[in-house]
Amino acid sequence: MSSWRLLLTRPAEECAALAQVLAEQGIASSSLPLLEIEALSLDQAQLDVARGVDRYAAIIVVSKPAARLGLAALSRFWPQLPKQAWFTVGAASAQVLEASGCQVSYPAAGDDSEALLQLPALHQAMAGPAPRVLIMRGEGGRELLAERLSEQGASVDYLQLYRRLLPTYPHGVLPARVTAERLNGLVVSSGQGFEHLRQLAGNDWPQLAQLTLFVPSPRVAAQARDAGAQNVVDCRGASAAALLAALQQMPAPAL
């Protein structure tokens, strides 16, 4: 039985799935979802993008919600998806697409935009003249992919499918949960998830910042350290397997 007792902060369904995986490994957890996914209504311009998806040399899907909602949007015009080059930043998003018959490429290590930009298959997909790339994402996501691809001569469009909200919780719920359940580690799956963690912590952040914080990438690790997190562990991925590997390398603090 592991001594780790973790706070999970992903969207509710993902928290439940991760908690089950952890429990099977003897790791206790408590779920406090800090990301709520709200689907966006697509305007006519966005519907035209979905209708013309076969024009793109590459389609990049940045998250599981983007994969699910993107497939739903495309199904309005494409009962059978065109044979495009699909890409994701991680295995979990790829699995959603593969279940619908897509052939998906993603980095073997590192669930982030930086790793995806190094993927040879993406460079191959963009090898033709004036390639067009479609990025399926949430509202207000990172611009790094579009900027780098534009520098390489690609024309980039977005299909923005959802927004990420911080659920409403009573004041003080986060430190109270940590204390009551004797939690000794926090897990976030994205930069926005971390910002919501800080927002919910409020004036209690300096105390919570002393707990071990598990993050998915070097970018989020730097973001957390800049905000005062004292013990940040970069899992090099947002998957359950990446978290489990990091936990095996880290001795749990004494309870």
pLDDT digits (tens), the chain, 255 positions:
689 999 999 999 899 999 999 999 999 999 999 999 999 999 999 999 999 999 999 999 998 899 999 999 999 999 988 888 999 988 888 999 999 999 999 988 766 788 889 899 999 998 888 899 999 999 887 788 899 999 988 999 999 999 999 999 999 999 999 999 999 999 999 899 999 999 999 999 999 999 999 999 888 999 999 999 999 999 988 889 889 999 998 888 865
DSSP state of 252: P
Angle (nearest 5°) at CA 15 between 12 and 20: 130
Where do we find the tokens 């076969």?
54
Q: Of 164, 180, 197, which marks where a domain is finished?
A: 164
Q: Specify the CATH number for the domain of residue 210.
A: 3.40.50.10090
Same domain as 134, residue 53:
yes
Task: Based on the fold, state whether residues 68 and 160 are members of the same structural domain.
Answer: yes
**Structural domain for 208, as ranges:** 5-35+169-249
In a domain, 255, yes or no: no
- Cβ atoms of 239 and 91 closer than 8 Å: yes
pTM of the model: 0.82
**Same-domain check for residues 229 and 192:** yes
Q: How far apart are CA 64 and CA 46, in angstroms?
A: 19
**One-letter amino acid of 80:** Q
Question: Residue 228 has what DSSP assignment?
Answer: T
Q: Does residue 254 lie in a domain region? A: no
DSSP line for 24-45: HTT-EEEE----EEEEPPP-HH
Domain membership of residue 178 (yes or no) is: yes
